[in-house]
Amino acid sequence: EPFVSENGHTTLLHGTFMDINERKQLEHRQALEHNVTRVVAESDTIDDAMPKIIKLVCENFGWDCGAYWQWDKRDRLLRCSDTWSTNSDEVRDFVVRSKQQGFAPTLAGLIRRVWSTGEPVWIADVSGDPSFLRASIAAKAGLHGAFAFPIRIGDELCGVLEFFIRNVCQPDAALLRTAQSIGLQIGQFIARTAAQKQIRQLAHFDFLTGLPNRTLFNQLLDHALTKAQRHARQVAILFIDLDGFKQINDRFGHDAGDHLLVTFTLRLRESLRRSDAVGRHTRSDTAARLGGDEFVVLIDEFADLVELEAVAKRVLAAAEEPFYLAGDQREHRDQHLVDRRH
């Protein structure tokens, strides 16, 4: 709004100004959060979602590469599991060499500092940070600016996302706030998929032995019968129960009974060839537990009854070994063979 003097000259302008760049950055951040929400909604696992999320962050803000680091419980190291980068050979080489490394958490570096503190970290120029162990390969790739932020499930850290850019880049508080929001979304997604996996596991596998339960075994049997009919093959089911199991529970307690079942499962798995499917089961190398002391073995490919007898004898031999329970030992076995021809 102009203010004009008596002689007709403009002496003052009054109005509102908006930084267009700032508005566009806000729109980018909002669009990024929306797109991350869409990716996690459409993905089944974190392995499906993470490369897409890394790419979204890089492309929205012009960063050259990014990586997701997870905690390796066995080696107690942070290891790179998912990455994305531009088509630069030097940047791709940096990403490849990063994936070959593992880092112990300390208060130095980038991802190590995030993991140790649980807070986002920004380094304006990694080439000038002596604690950044990949400084030399980053310099070779022409990478300077970097930031990283934690992925949490509740109060527990489960990973770190890091990003790099060729420019020396000062901290951007707004971008870090967006990153923390994305980290929260990812953490919720990881927790949700883990819960769904556990539900599926409980629905299809025996909790005690890890073998397929009756529900999954019936599905495996239906599949085997369909395949047998299609290819004019035979299917056999080996039924196994453990005599005297109730007496074991009554005399020694349920812990001893559970120990017997787990021990027998290990022996049963060991006795089966890889193409046998056992009702307390694991894919092609398995055994299924129908409940209590009842097990089954699904044999969907065999040449003749002699081969079936060989399988049954291996299982019997496994059961004939003594079971040591509370300083005592017991032998429990019983077995029936049903041959179903199709």
Query: Are 139 and 252 contained in the same domain?
Result: no
Give the domain-ending residue among 169, 202, 235: 202
Query: Are 31 and 170 contained in the same domain?
Result: yes
Q: Answer whether residue 4 is part of any domain.
A: no
Q: Answer whether residue 11 is part of any domain.
A: no
Tell me the CATH number at 327: 3.30.70.270
Give the domain-ending residue among 180, 202, 224: 202
Q: Which residue has the tokens 């100004």?
A: 17
Query: Are 64 and 118 contained in the same domain?
Result: yes
Query: Are 196 and 275 contained in the same domain?
Result: no
Give the domain-ending residue among 153, 173, 202: 202
Q: What is the pLDDT of residue 198?
A: 79
Is residue 134 scored above 90 in pLDDT?
yes
The arrangement of strands across the sheet holding 121-123 comes to 102-103, 77-85, 65-72, 156-165, 145-153, 121-123
Q: Which of 15-29, 129-143, 187-201, 221-235 comes out lowest in average pLDDT? A: 15-29
Looking at residue 193, its amino acid is T
pLDDT, mean of residues 306-325: 83
CB 319 within 8 A of CB 330: no
Tell me the CATH number at 34: 3.30.450.40
Q: What is the pLDDT of residues 212-252, one digit of tens each?
A: 999 889 888 888 888 888 888 888 888 988 888 888 888 88
Nearest to 148 by CA among 235, 274, 63: 63
Q: Which residue has the tokens 């041959």?
A: 339
pLDDT, mean of residues 46-74: 93
Cα dihedral across residues 122, 74, 286, 201: positive or negative: negative
Which residues pair with residue 68 across a beta bridge?
82, 161
67 membership: H or E segment, kind and range = strand 65-72
Q: What is the pLDDT of residue 4?
A: 54
Give the range of the structural domain holding residue 273, as residue numbers without chain letter: 214-340
Query: Are 154 and 290 contained in the same domain?
Result: no
Is residue 334 scored above 60 in pLDDT?
no
pTM, to two decimals: 0.62
Query: Are 91 and 240 contained in the same domain?
Result: no
Nearest to 149 by CA among 40, 54, 15: 54
Q: What is the pLDDT of residues 86-128, one digit of tens each?
A: 999 999 999 999 999 998 887 788 999 999 999 999 999 998 8
Q: What is the pLDDT of residue 189?
A: 92
> How many domains in the chain?
2
Percent pLDDT > 70 in the chain is 84
Query: Are 158 and 33 contained in the same domain?
Result: yes
Residue 147 tokens, joined: 């930031």
Is residue 181 scored above 70 in pLDDT?
yes
Q: Quickly list H helices, the chain.
A: 20-42, 46-61, 89-99, 111-117, 135-140, 173-204, 214-231, 245-252, 254-271, 305-320
Helix, strand, coil percentages in the chain from 3-state DSSP, rounded to 5: 45, 25, 30
Phi, psi of 54 (to 5 degrees): -60, -45
- Confidence class of residue 19 from pLDDT cuts 50, 70 and 90? low
Query: Are 122 and 244 contained in the same domain?
Result: no
- Confidence class of residue 272 from pLDDT cuts 50, 70 and 90? confident
